[in-house]
Amino acid sequence: MSPVVDIRSLTKRYGKARGVEDVTFQVEQGEIFGFIGPNGAGKTTTIRTLLGFLRPTSGSARIFDLDVVSQGQEIKKRIGYLPADVNYYDDMRAGELLDLSARFHGVAASARIAELSQALGLDLGKRIRSLSTGNRKKVGIVQALLHEPDLLILDEPTSGLDPLVQHTFFELLRAEKEQGRTIFFSSHVLSEVQRLCDRVAIIRDGRIIDVERVDGLGVGQYKRVRVKLRNPGATLDLPGAHRPAGPGADVELIYRGGIDDLVKQLARHEVEDVWIEDPPLEEIFLHYYQGDAERSAADGDGVAR
């Protein structure tokens, strides 16, 4: 079976400025696929290129085995899209806008709109201009889901939502997955990805630096190590350390390497105490971005969105 989303060597440049460079990954049928990176890493540029809002400089992108440039109109019929920032006609009521969207898709969706709106706590009778940022985002969620699309593309979907609504939203997405739908979930919040996604692509400076299962990011590969040394001037030289350990009585680091190597290195010192535990995903994520500030300062004309 062909992947739902198939991106190969996708590059988008804005003149001399960087957008994304040589991006390659696939999203399989029925999975929730996370696309993570800090703001400015290139997530939105990739999504806009997928949706046909931007033309790629080089490379290819296919959705449902259709080319996003030449067959974009056919693709859009089967996609639900939630942008990071939602903007609507201020004078319309939320229910009117969603009814218009349903007619645009050619579906009878009154019952589904009512069900989704009730789940999210959205008042369909209020005008768009009176809605808070969070309630506007709720309108966007219902709009993306109302026609039961085969693929959901969500760009920073939880921004503006309070924690209770976020929980409900995640339950809705899990229900969509159970129906066999595919979800592409872009975020810079690692805890969201850890809770929701099956696999993840990590993007940095417009380039993909890793694609793997979410459980592979944090279980069995990385350890958070904290060591209390008797000699405060001692230095640990640990292979696989992503946060280099310097001198000090208490040393902390994220360690990726063999436990046997770790124990042998510790045995060379007078150790008062040691803690070894699985780190949260946020800490693992940090090692991918070490040095970003220095690279950004050196690359003054580089822009990723």
pLDDT in tens, the chain (305 residues): 789 999 999 999 988 787 999 999 999 999 999 998 887 889 999 999 999 999 999 999 999 999 999 999 999 999 999 999 888 999 999 999 999 999 999 999 999 999 999 999 999 999 999 999 999 999 999 999 999 999 999 999 998 899 999 999 999 999 999 999 999 999 888 778 888 999 999 998 899 988 988 877 654 567 888 888 888 777 777 776 766 666 666 888 888 777 888 888 888 888 889 998 877 666 666 665 654 444 444 444 444 44
Residues 72 and 187 in one domain: yes
Q: Which domain holds residue 263?
A: 223-277
Q: Can you give the pTM of this predicted structure? A: 0.79
Torsion over CA of 149, 153, 156 and 162, rounded to 10 degrees? 10
Question: Which residues sit opposite 225 in a β-bridge?
Answer: 253, 276
Instruction: Round to whole Å and give the CA distance between 222 and 217.
Output: 8
Residue 278: what residue type?
Answer: D
Q: Which residues contact 9 (CB under 8 A, 6 or more apart)?
A: 22, 23, 24, 58, 59, 60
176, 199, 217 - which closes a domain: 217
* Domain co-membership, 168 together with 239: no
H/E element holding 208? strand 207-213
pLDDT of 305:
47
- Shared domain for 172 and 251, answered yes or no, is no
Residue 202 lies in a domain: yes
Choose the final residue of a domain: 169, 184, 217: 217
Rounded to an integer, what distance in angstroms lies between the CA atom of residue 304 and that of residue 73?
A: 26
Alpha helix positions (H), the chain = 43-50, 72-76, 94-105, 110-120, 133-145, 163-178, 190-196, 214-218, 259-266, 281-288, 292-298
Cα(118)–Cα(101) distance, integer angstroms:
18
Is residue 60 helix, strand or coil? strand
The answer to the question of residue 153 being in a domain is yes
Residue 268 resides in a domain? yes
152 and 87 share a domain? yes
Q: How many structural domains comprise the chain?
A: 2
